[in-house]
Amino acid sequence: MTVHTQNVTDYPNNNTWFLVWNFRENVPAEKVTAVFRRICALVINLNNSALDRFPDAKASCVLGIGYDAWLKLGLPQPLPRELKNFETIAGSKHAAISTKGDLHFHIRADEKSLAYDMTSVISAHMKEIADCAVEVQGFRYWDSRSILGFVDGTENPHGADREFFAVVGEEDSAYKGGSYLFVQKYLHDLAAWKSLPVEEQEKVIGRSKENDIEMDDDVKPKNSHIALANVGDDFKVVRDNMPFGNVSSNEMGTYFICYASTFSTVEKMLTNMFIGNPPGNYDRILDFSTAQTGTLFFVPSLDMLDGFGG
């Protein structure tokens, strides 16, 4: 039987909203469940409507569910094998902190108005039962660069590999077609970053800034971002990072988001980056980028989401 996935393998586009919502404790469980069922049906409806009305807009909404929310909502047991509350990964200098998140919405569209409308209608329902903990509006910066000026996502898989690395398969048959979603909101110290000569910035990343060419292994620093964040060709994820920020306050950052068939792959990356490989050899980019959030969600298949919506 064919299992239909949510839009976890879509490519980044021009406008994105990221929303993390937490259920309010004083809302009756029956109301939380009723609104959640409505939200599941709404997400499917919004995706279908956008595809019919604006077929070239590359619009989609992906819904992820956190561990505590899964239990609170009484969703199927046993849970997806690797769904849990993310635990802080702390190195000698930097930490991938853990923050609470019940539901995550990843809303994309080339047309900003469409992304806004999808975000608005979802938020109107969520306000009945939850508070928004994170709202980030991401934008495409030049040729998919982070605000640090380097191309972001070069190591992303393509073609059939995107589904292989992003979507749960037969290894967890009850949740086939789902995906593990991990997010972090990073803020950058742009003043410190811009004070580095381009040659030093390239050593931090492990690639050339202008043409995005990876350094040879005998030249690439062992603590560069590329050297530590990439944990092997058999361990990849599908990233959809976007820059965001406020220019006047110079509070600019990157919303890191990835979809994976196994969360253990993401943990390998984070351990390499924050603790180091070997320990102490942490990712140098963390001297300029600080994680403000860190949350794990599970994205059920469309078929399962349809069942949740009743």
Token pair of 239 as six digits: 């990233």
- Whether 131 is catalytic is no
| Cα 92 off chain centre by | 25
Cα(285)–Cα(93) distance, integer angstroms: 12
Gyration radius of the chain over CA positions: 19
pLDDT at residue number 66 = 98
pLDDT at residue number 278 = 96
Q: Which residues in the chain show pLDDT less than 70?
A: 1
Q: Pairing relation of β-strands 60-65 and 179-188?
A: unpaired
User: Which of helix, strand or coil describes residue 245?
Assistant: strand
pLDDT at residue number 251 = 87
Look at the pTM and tell me if it is higher than 0.85: yes
Of the candidates 152, 233, 303, 306, the residue annotated as catalytic is: 152
pLDDT at residue number 109 = 96
**Pick from 24, 17, 18, 16: which is nearest to 127 by CA?**
24
Annotated domain spans of the chain: 15-309
Cα(126)–Cα(273) distance, integer angstroms: 34
pLDDT at residue number 265 = 96
pLDDT at residue number 250 = 80
245 torsion bin: left (phi>0), alpha (psi -120 to 50), beta (else): left
- Calculate what percentage of the chain has a pLDDT beyond 70: 100
**pLDDT tens digits, residue range 40-67?**
999 999 999 999 999 999 999 999 999 9
Q: Dmax of the chain from CA atoms? A: 60
Token pair of 44 as six digits: 């499917």
pLDDT at residue number 2 = 81
pLDDT at residue number 284 = 98
Taking each helix axis from N to C end, the angle separating 29-53 and 112-126, rounded to the nearest 10 degrees, works out to 160
Token pair of 82 as six digits: 């690797």
**pLDDT tens digits, residue range 196-228?**
999 999 999 999 999 999 999 999 999 999 999
